[in-house]
Structure 1
Amino acid sequence: MKEKNAWVMNGYLGILVIAGLIAGTVFSFVEEQFILGGILIVLAIVLGSGITMIQPNQSVVVIFLGRYMGTIRREGIVLTIPFTVRKTISLRVRNFNSNRLKVNDVNGNPIEIAAVIVFKVIDAAKAVFDVDRYEQFVEIQSETAIRAVATKYPYDNFEVDELTLRGNAEEVSSELTEELQDRLRVAGVEVIEARLTHLAYSTEIAQAMLQRQQASAIISARKQIVDGAVGMVQDAIERLEKEGIVDLDDERRVAMINNLLVSIVSDHGTQPVINTGSLYQ
């Protein structure tokens, strides 16, 4: 099914023609020309059945005896093919909030996910004839696409640098938009945006996964701190020896490295111990 333009003419001109036919009918009846008056009144009724009103950002699908005659996108009052069935389809942008879906991520962890879908109809003929109840079709396909995208990625991952549902919302939303567009193209629907509105672990594993997240975050932070501390100690030792401030042998170098690492990596402030010499010196 492909959208095409239906036959229309200016509605105000059509109303004037109908008014003229009614006036001619009255005049014919007054002059006792009943046959002419009957013909004129029938013509007025026929043309009157083709008058329709279209609001901005709406389209009307015209059907005559089960056959698609075209679509009217012209706003205002128009005169179209008489005795046709006319279905109004909104072309306005609409939002759809999905339900909270319970799915498994790529690692098999149960999560809760929901999204908001922004869409509009761009082909009224497809929306009417290619699918049954396109609004319901959009809802079902949206939930299917959300499930399909959610199963491709982990909820979160601190160990490997990869796409995750929580850490890469823009990329996931972009893929969800593309997935939805492929599914809704058959209904003549354009997906403007799809964005996650809710993402969380399911209640039965939420506490355990929170502890895992905290542990992974601590390990990741500790690794970064240690890497930075090693670099700082290395720079300090090299600078001291280069500028000739101290001359360290292997034993003292190891002791200084140990003290510096403890000072930098420790969670609490270090308390220096001052050696004032032995009692018998």
Structure 2
Amino acid sequence: MNTEKIITAPSGYLGLLLFFVLAGASALLGVAGYPVPAVILGILDFVVVLAGLIIVNPNESRVLILFGKYLGTVKADGFFWVNPFTVKRKVSLRAFNLNGQQLKVNDSVGNPIEIAAVIVWQVQDTAKAVFAVENYMQYVNIQSEAAVRHLANSFPYDHIEDENASITLRGGADQVSEMLEKELNDRLERAGITVIEARISHLAYAPEIAQAMLQRQQASAIIAARRLIVEGAVGMVEMALTRMEEKNIVDLDEERKAAMVSNLLVVLCGEKAVSPIVNTGTLYH
């Protein structure tokens, strides 16, 4: 496999000056009555000198190939003259932004989800980008899609699906992005491409199960809230009974304690405000 070789090309201004000198000489020969040498010199001027002039813009490069052999890459920006018989492949060194399409895949527990990623990448090794793969732009698109699919298959969407999962697609965004970036760099290294950043841009359940999963999440949230309310209510009841016993406010038997606990739990755990009934008689009537 070819490795990148950076070369320094001669200034194009010298080549341009040589072009005008030879063009002038060709014109003088024609005027002097030497048409054949004038034509030959003019053809050589255009073929050898003018054809070798190239302009390399900032953050661009030219890969030079002579008769099937890789000569090197011009990465410096400016005006240059190179061998006119070389094939000059332009390769951009700018950062590209790939906004991946939404993919429908299954997570690690089999739930269908929709996922997409935004990937920022650039060419690091021009020789690999040109010679190691057929089309490096297409290679990036296909490998990026494969990496996102593999990532989605490796983790559950949320802890609701797998309570023992240490990383989820929804909850571990930073970790998932780091793993996606590493996998992409491993996949694209063959093409001389470096991934600068990779982020999940879209993540959702597939439409056919989205409503059911929403209801499941709501139910889980309600259960968690109820559990917290009950734990708090039990603590408050326990504290009330303990304080009453410490201060000898009233002496209750076990049956009345049970009734009091029941009433307090109803008041503290109820969804609506209760309407108390005031007992104007004794405690036992």
The answer to whether the superposition gives a TM-score over 0.5 is yes
Query: 1:235 Cα deviation (Å)?
Result: 4.6
SS of structure 2 residue aligned to 1:193: strand
After TM superposition, the structure 1 stretch with the greater mean CA deviation from structure 2, 233-242 or 185-194, is 233-242
1:202 aligned onto 2:202: no
Which of 217, 233, 242 is residue 229 of structure 1 equivalent to? Answer: 233
SS of structure 2 residue aligned to 1:83: coil
What one-letter code is carried by the residue in structure 2 that aligns with 1:121? V
Which of 70, 73, 88 is residue 72 of structure 2 equivalent to? Answer: 70
Q: Which residue of 2 aligns with 1:215?
A: 219
Q: What TM-score results when the alignment is normalised by the length of structure 2?
A: 0.86
What one-letter code is carried by the residue in structure 2 that aligns with 1:263? V
Which of 114, 134, 137 is residue 136 of structure 2 equivalent to? Answer: 134
Q: Which residue of 1 aligns with 2:86?
A: 84
The CA RMSD measured in Å over matched residues stands at 2.8
1:275 aligned onto 2:276: no
| Structure 1 stretches of 4+ moved >6 Å | 33-36
Q: Which residue of 2 aligns with 1:2?
A: 3
After TM superposition, the structure 1 stretch with the greater mean CA deviation from structure 2, 43-52 or 231-240, is 231-240
After TM superposition, the structure 1 stretch with the greater mean CA deviation from structure 2, 261-270 or 29-38, is 29-38
After superposition, the C-alpha distances for 1:76-134 in whole angstroms (9 at most, x for unaligned) are 21111221100111111111122221111111111111111111111111111111111
* Residue 30 to residue 177, structure 1, CA distance change in 2 (3 Å): same
SS of structure 2 residue aligned to 1:9: coil
Query: 1:135 Cα deviation (Å)?
Result: 0.7
Q: Which residue of 2 aligns with 1:15?
A: 16
After superposition, the C-alpha distances for 1:35-55 in whole angstroms (9 at most, x for unaligned) are 875458625631222111111
CA distance in 1, matches of 2:79, 2:42: 22
Q: Which residue of 1 aligns with 2:178?
A: 174
1:120 aligned onto 2:122: yes
1:263 aligned onto 2:267: yes
After superposition, the C-alpha distances for 1:24-44 in whole angstroms (9 at most, x for unaligned) are 333344455678754586256
What one-letter code is carried by the residue in structure 1 that aligns with 2:110? G
CA distance in 1, matches of 2:41, 2:126: 36
After superposition, the C-alpha distances for 1:237-271 in whole angstroms (9 at most, x for unaligned) are 555656x3736556355554444433332221233
SS of structure 2 residue aligned to 1:68: strand
Query: 1:207 Cα deviation (Å)?
Result: 2.3
SS of structure 1 residue aligned to 2:220: helix
Q: Which residue of 1 aligns with 2:145?
A: 143
Q: Which residue of 2 aligns with 1:190?
A: 194
* Residue 233 to residue 27, structure 1, CA distance change in 2 (3 Å): farther
Query: 1:234 Cα deviation (Å)?
Result: 4.2
Contact 1:62 1:68 in 2 (8 A): yes
What one-letter code is carried by the residue in structure 1 that aligns with 2:89? K
Contact 1:101 1:112 in 2 (8 A): yes
Query: 1:146 Cα deviation (Å)?
Result: 0.5
Q: Which residue of 2 aligns with 1:246?
A: 249
Query: 1:166 Cα deviation (Å)?
Result: 1.7
CA distance in 2, matches of 1:261, 1:16: 97
Query: 1:161 Cα deviation (Å)?
Result: 5.9
* Residue 270 to residue 73, structure 1, CA distance change in 2 (3 Å): same
CA distance in 1, matches of 2:253, 2:216: 41
- Structure 2 segments unaligned to the other structure (5+ residues): none
Query: 1:184 Cα deviation (Å)?
Result: 0.8
Query: 1:60 Cα deviation (Å)?
Result: 0.8
* Residue 218 to residue 43, structure 1, CA distance change in 2 (3 Å): same
After TM superposition, the structure 1 stretch with the greater mean CA deviation from structure 2, 163-172 or 30-39, is 30-39
Query: 1:61 Cα deviation (Å)?
Result: 0.6
Tell me the percent identity: 48
CA distance in 1, matches of 2:180, 2:251: 61
- Structure 1 segments unaligned to the other structure (5+ residues): none
* Equivalenced residues, count: 280
